[in-house]
Structure formats: C-alpha cells, structure tokens
Amino acid sequence: MESKDDDYWNDSTNKSFNFDEDEVAVLEVPTASTAANRRSLFGEDTASEVHFANTQHELPLSVIISDEDLASLLDDQSRSEVPLPKGISLEEEVKLLRRRLQECSYAPSAASVVAKLVLGKSCSLEMFRSLGEKEELLDEAVASGSGNAILKVVLFLERTLKKKLFYRLLQTRPEAVSHYVNYMALRLKVTECTDLLVFLGRHHEASLLQFSIYVRSTSNVEFKRQRLKKIYSDYFSQPGANSFYAQLVANYINLLEFQVSEQHAPNAGSILDGSVLETLHYACGRYKWGDTAHQSSPTNPFKLAEAHAVGQPQFEWVALNERARAKAWLDFEHIFERKAWLNLKQKSFTIHIPIDRTILRLSALNAPEPVLNNFLAKVDDPARRLGLARRVNAKRGVVDALVALKDRTELEQFKDGLEAGTEERFYAENALKSLNNKWKSDAIKLIK
C-alpha cells in the first residue's frame, strides 16, 4: 500500500507553493483556458505541451529560435545579468530568481527594445509574437527615426509574418518601405522589391527600380537587352505609363541593339555597354563625312544624336574632339557649316559651344595654324581675338586682329619680331602696307 507521501506526489491536483506569503497556500496553476494571455519563453504552454510524458517528441531549439537571435538573447542576458547579492536568505533568493524568470517570460516593452537598437546594442525580438505587439514594435522603430532600428524590425517582421500581413503593416509606413526597398535593392533582390511596390500600387517605381538594377548589375549586353525588353513590355508599353520614361527605356534598348550590331566592327569593343556619348564618339569615327551616300548609314552621327536627344553643344564637342584626334581637319566643314535657308549654295558657320574654348581645345590637340585662324576669324571682338591668337601662337591671327584694331605701332613691332623671309613676315608686311594705304586714303578724304 502506498504511503501518504506517495499519494501526495501522484495527486493530479494543481498546487504550488507561494513564496511571497508567510504561510503555505494552494495556488491555481494556469490551465490552457486561463493562460491564453500568458506565455513561456518559447511559446504558449498548454497542458499537453508541459506533460512530461512527451519529452521524447520535443522540437529542437533551432526550430523554435534562430541561432542569431539565440546568441543575441544569451549575450544580452549575460551583459545585463546582475549577480545575486551575497548573504541573503534562501527565501529572498528564490523571490529574486522568480522575478527574473517572469521578466524573461514576458515580452519587454517595445520602447525599451527600440532604445537598445538605436544605441546599437544587440537584443532579441523573438519575444514579440502577436501581430499587435509586432505592429507596436514597428511603430516605435519608425518614431525613433533610426534607419538601423527600422531595418532590424522590418527584417524581423518579414521573417516571422506571412507576406500579405507583412505588406499590410508596411502599407501605411512609407519610411519602413523606403528602408526595406533600399536594403533589398542593394542586394539585387529584384523580386522582393517589385512585389512590395506593386502591392502598394507603386507600379511606376517598381518599373524604374527594375530598370536601374538591371542597367547597373550586369555587363552582359545581350542579357541586359533581353531583361530591359521584358520590363518595357510589362510596364512601359502599358496604358498610363509615363511617356518620358517609356521613351528613355526604348532609347536605351535601341542603343544596346546598335552596340551589339557593331560589336564585330573595328574598335567596336570599346562601346559595348557604353554611354550614348561614347557610342557617338565611335560613330563619328566610322562615318564618311561629306559622302551623301552614307547619310542613311546606321553609323550616321547626326541621326544617332537626334535619336537619343543629344544636345547640339554636346554633339559638336564630341565630333570636334574625335575628328581632331584623327587629324581629319577638313571634316570640320561638315560639322560647323550649314547651308543657308535662302541660298542653298551658300554655307554659314554655326557653332553652339564657346568659341574661346573651341580654339584653346584645338590648340591643345595640335591643330595646324590655318585651322586655328579659321576659328579665330569667327571671333567678333578684335581685342578678344588678339588675346586668343597670342595664347595659341597663331601669327596670322595676331596680324588680322591688329589690322582690325588699326594699331599700326603694335603691328610694326610684331612684324619686326618675325623671322625675315618667312611667310608670316611677308603676310605682316603686306598687312602693314594695306593698313598704311587705307590710313592715307582716309586722311585724303578728311582733307577734301
């Protein structure tokens, strides 16, 4: 027959000892119905979950909590744990241990956790299990204004919530969306970013994000072209798409197709995945300037610049540098001279870049003096022309500027400084004679 002690331990009555009272008291241990709002460290306890007969079926710890969060939790506890004071009674020690167990068993306040995240301290978020608690935690993180705290909480929510619930929480919190999208975009998580933005109704941003990621993430021109064509078909060709960005994407696809078509031509390897201006520079070198038979050629730089909305100053600067490096000085006529509207046989000089900068650039590229003089003649102000001619050492340009200024004294001094018998010396002497004859003619007119 079993003793009374054995009856006590085998009794199913739920009893516990109250350490806070001076006398022994029988306390009701929460059952499944009364413990709905309470929690243990790793989940909602029910009668079956705490039954010791099922210990062989317990889940491994790694399934319940991630290794990273477990390490953070243990590290946080080890740093914040205060040793028990010495000399206290057994009863007081039990009370302290019981209080600490309660603190670990209940979720801390969202404000205290976010404060730790803001300060860069490691802490676990696994204690926030209900949707309401997670929403409160997210609001606290957003209110803190700390990008690190917001991102930490958002990534925790992404991992512990279904996608639909996760998106709904972010729907009214644009700051959280911004941090999450930037984080995922940097890691080339295109699908995750696009799904969220489409769910939020931000189709325009989703399309531009895909465009920017695929443009920057790969140097494989063919793969990039195929991806961009799909993006254009899915977003930019649809009704309501932004016409400006649709044209921008279409132009970029056309640019890639032009580069692919030219990849086997000489020196074409340098333009693969290159910019519009780099491609234009290549086209200027391939084009047969002045040959009307090549005006319909795919490498026509005028058409390429027009198709990609390259401004006239940019076009002239690229063409000038490319032709100058190729020493193709005669091609400048086809770049800067246009047929007049009223007289198609007459051509007019037109330039959209500063003439001073053009002359200095040509001098730096070792342009011959006749080319420099041709551009110097387009400077209207004689004094400014004289200064530029002296800077680039264009002797004829200096003479022409002094003649325009009617400065005989300076012209005589400049002539005397030129080497005798040279072409420049003869040119200066003839200019001085012409200036003297004109001065005499003007003087006679005044006497009469």
pLDDT at 387: 95
Residue 40 has pLDDT above 60, yes or no: no
CA distance 27 to 180: 48
Where are the extended beta strands (E) located within 245-361?
337-339, 347-349
> Is the CB of residue 271 less than 8 Å from the CB of residue 262?
yes
Beta bridge partners of 40: 43
pLDDT at 348: 83
Confidence category of residue 375, pLDDT binned at 50, 70, 90: very high
> Is the CB of residue 408 less than 8 Å from the CB of residue 439?
yes
3-state secondary structure of 270: helix
Q: Which tokens sit at 211?
A: 């465009």
Query: Global pTM?
Result: 0.65
DSSP state at residue 167: H
User: Taking all residues of the chain, what is their mean pLDDT, rounded to a whole number?
Assistant: 79
> Tell me: the pLDDT tens digits for 378-398?
999 999 999 999 999 999 999
Main-chain phi, psi angles of 347, to 5 degrees: -115, 145
Q: Domain map of the chain by residue range?
A: 89-200, 202-273, 275-341, 354-447
Q: Which of 58-62, 120-124, 351-355 holds the top average pLDDT?
A: 351-355
The CA R_g of the chain, rounded to the nearest whole Å, is 42
3-state secondary structure of 31: coil
Cα separation values, 428 from 380, 397, 422, 433, Å:
21, 10, 10, 9
Confidence category of residue 281, pLDDT binned at 50, 70, 90: very high
